[in-house]
Structure 1
Amino acid sequence: MINYITFIVLFCVFSTIPVKASNTQLIGTLVVVNKKDDTVNFIDLQSRKIKFTQDTGKGPHELAMSADGRLAIVTDYIGGNSLTVFDVQQAKKIKTIDLSQYPSPHGVLFLKDQRSVAVSSEGSDSVVIVDIISGQIKKVIDTQQKGSHMVAIPESSERVYTTNMDSNTVSELDVESGALLRKIATPNIPEAITVNKSGTELWVGSNEDGLVSVFNLINGGLIKQFKGFSFPYRVLLTRDEKFAVISDFKKNTLDIIDVKNKNKLKQVKFGLWTIPNGLVFHPNDRILFMTSYGKDKVVVIDIPTGKTLFELPTGDGPDGIGYSPLELQ
């Protein structure tokens, strides 16, 4: 029979053991782009299962989710030259928007009005502003650079930034006037990009040089440069801007950065064929959903600890990803 003191000791020991990560309960829906399948998966987080799979256009890559989680927009990059618009809760295609005059649409993000998206057209070196509701092109802004691949937008939506992979620059564009405001020189082959909400800091990953640079957009200076990457594929800030995460396509790692102090907190190492790709945060800002192109999975990661909580199935070659709080019907 366990005496009182023994019971107290055992209680204290076992009460400090963390709950297994696999018990983490989440609700909502993930929408994942499968580049090799030309599909999107609608994954129910509560059951951790793919509930629906729908066709996109040819060669889909990136995805933007509306703030309310009702609309998912997919860029049909290789051969599709279009946007595919999905109703998330119904898990169905609403429309396809033709972008054949502005081919190779890749990066995509919603503007503040939540009915327009900014899309980088690598084939025309421009950013196209598209009204998702009407399906009409509202404006075309010339980046005046080559290989315009990804986009970043501050909270105000007054600016759009594009990484120009062939020109080794970022274009800063004014949405209202359609003017090129400046070209920011970067290390070689910039791809990954994000900007903070206030539009004062720009984060850029450069594939050839293995660098992630943080620029001061007020004075144009370099704040910090992180080294040692092989292919810093994507960079993303939490909504509270406490953490930044950087997925490395070739090193199979995820770096977690303290945004305020610009210090690397930890590096999470994955298996050889993980191939980290797309990133999106849960609204709690502490759980990250990361697509694994090599494993055909979504890896769910606790950011404060760097621990993998669990994995989710996807189709073939997952990349772009979005989170919706809505549950599938």
Structure 2
Amino acid sequence: MMPGLLPGADTPTAALLVLSKSEQTLAIVDPGSHQVVARIPSGPDPHEVVASTDGRFAFISNYGGGRYNTISVIDLVGQKALPTVDLGALRGPHGLDFQGGMVWFTAEAAKVIGRYDPASQKIDLVLGTGQNRTHMIAVSPDLKWLVTSNVSSATMTFIEKKSVQAPGAGGPMNAPPQDWDETVVAVGRGAEGFDISPDGKELWAANAQDGTVSILDVASKKVVQTLAADVTGANRLKFTPDGKLVFVSTLRGPDLTILDAATRRTVKRLKIGRGAAGIQMEPGGARAYVACTPDDYVVIVDLQSMEVTGRLEAGKQPDGMAWAVRGR
């Protein structure tokens, strides 16, 4: 039995979800006790996970660097795997978001983003980026725009919904029901992990090869500043819920870099292990969880003291994490 596993325990109303890449499992963690209440098989090479808004289901991208083309579906309440979503030619699913009742995903090998409707069990939207390694994705809550990081092209792509004139009102009779405009913004080399500030005004992207952080103004879709943050090998970047701090993980060193969002300065480098990938902020703003992939544990960081206060074991090579909150 896995250490800390609570056999037969129900999924808590608020649960931390943690992927194990090498064991190909999803762990459901009770954030109160930090014990694993269930481990459920995923598909091959699970990298990212997202929960439905009602907290009842999880969706996992099976990446494989473009070898795979599936999204695993997990019933979090029943603690069981459901039928897998076959993405067909859309290979290399990676980044995920859940907005408007839909699963939004990147398909890196196909250079596209897609949208999967769990109700109809169909992919109802595919948009090409034309960029290399379209990797992570964030979708606005109003569904009017989305943004992706494109690792090998060193770009971010903003995709905005465009108003289309209805037939009979001066527009062509074959006008599509909707259209999208794309704006490609050059950032640093190896841009992968990114996050949007809680006020929606800024996007920060960590550039793994340059070791820098690009700061973009969301409204103008332009880079306004590049920070020499010394984050070579950066994997993920996350704002704290209050928007005051920015965490950057790296797989090439022992430090978690913590930046002050207002001053743009590094305030701390926290030793957490041999390297780290996924970062997840507790919704209440008390703690952060950082997946130390090479060390097979997840560290717990207190956001007031900015110190490591514990570890949890949720499977070997932990990576992607998410929150599942029922009753929202």
Q: Which TM-score band (shorter chain)?
A: 0.7 to 0.9
Correspondence for 2:160:
174
Correspondence for 1:234:
236
Correspondence for 1:193:
194
Correspondence for 1:264:
266
SS in 1 for 2:37: strand
Correspondence for 1:121:
107
Q: Are the structure 2 counterparts of residues 281 and 305 from structure 1 closer, same or farther at C-alpha, using a change threshold of 3 Å?
A: same
User: Contact 2:74–2:82 at 8 Å: present in 1 too?
Assistant: yes
Correspondence for 2:132:
146
CA distance in 1, matches of 2:96, 2:90: 13
Pair 1:93-2:93 in alignment: no
User: Contact 1:229–1:251 at 8 Å: present in 2 too?
Assistant: no
Pair 1:108-2:86 in alignment: no
Residues 105-141 of structure 1 show CA distances to partners (whole Å, capped at 9, x for unaligned) of: 0000112x2x102101101100001112322111001
SS in 2 for 1:85: strand
Correspondence for 2:32:
46
Pair 1:157-2:143 in alignment: yes
CA distance in 2, matches of 1:140, 1:286: 37
User: Contact 1:211–1:228 at 8 Å: present in 2 too?
Assistant: yes
State the 1:197 CA deviation: 4.5
Pair 1:314-2:314 in alignment: yes
Q: Are the structure 2 counterparts of residues 192 and 159 from structure 1 closer, same or farther at C-alpha, using a change threshold of 3 Å?
A: same
CA distance in 1, matches of 2:223, 2:214: 10
Correspondence for 1:283:
283
Alignment partner of 1:135 out of 109, 116, 121: 121
Aligned AA (2:204):
W
State the 1:260 CA deviation: 3.1
Correspondence for 2:219:
218
CA distance in 2, matches of 1:155, 1:240: 18
State the 1:308 CA deviation: 1.2
User: Contact 2:212–2:226 at 8 Å: present in 1 too?
Assistant: no
User: Contact 1:60–1:77 at 8 Å: present in 2 too?
Assistant: yes
TM-score, with length taken from structure 1: 0.84
Q: Are the structure 2 counterparts of residues 199 and 178 from structure 1 closer, same or farther at C-alpha, using a change threshold of 3 Å?
A: farther
State the 1:151 CA deviation: 1.0
Q: Are the structure 2 counterparts of residues 134 and 109 from structure 1 closer, same or farther at C-alpha, using a change threshold of 3 Å?
A: same
User: Contact 2:281–2:289 at 8 Å: present in 1 too?
Assistant: yes
CA distance in 2, matches of 1:178, 1:305: 47
SS in 2 for 1:209: coil
User: Contact 1:300–1:308 at 8 Å: present in 2 too?
Assistant: yes
User: Contact 1:62–1:319 at 8 Å: present in 2 too?
Assistant: yes
Pair 1:80-2:68 in alignment: yes
SS in 1 for 2:277: strand
Structure 1, unaligned stretches of length 5 or more? 1-25
Aligned AA (1:101):
A
Q: Are the structure 2 counterparts of residues 265 and 66 from structure 1 closer, same or farther at C-alpha, using a change threshold of 3 Å?
A: farther
Correspondence for 2:172:
none
Aligned AA (1:200):
K
Aligned AA (1:81):
N
User: Contact 1:27–1:46 at 8 Å: present in 2 too?
Assistant: no
Aligned AA (2:87):
L
State the 1:178 CA deviation: 4.8
CA distance in 2, matches of 1:138, 1:124: 16
User: Contact 1:142–1:180 at 8 Å: present in 2 too?
Assistant: no
CA distance in 2, matches of 1:87, 1:243: 34
Q: Are the structure 2 counterparts of residues 69 and 257 from structure 1 closer, same or farther at C-alpha, using a change threshold of 3 Å?
A: farther
SS in 1 for 2:109: coil
CA distance in 1, matches of 2:71, 2:282: 24
Aligned AA (1:43):
V
- Sequence identity (%): 25
User: Contact 2:272–2:308 at 8 Å: present in 1 too?
Assistant: no
SS in 2 for 1:260: coil
Q: Which stretch has the larger CA shift, 287-296 or 239-248? A: 239-248
Aligned AA (2:131):
Q
* Aligned residues between the structures: 298
State the 1:90 CA deviation: 2.5
Q: Are the structure 2 counterparts of residues 99 and 29 from structure 1 closer, same or farther at C-alpha, using a change threshold of 3 Å?
A: same
Q: CA RMSD in A?
A: 2.1
User: Contact 1:242–1:259 at 8 Å: present in 2 too?
Assistant: yes
CA distance in 2, matches of 1:293, 1:211: 22
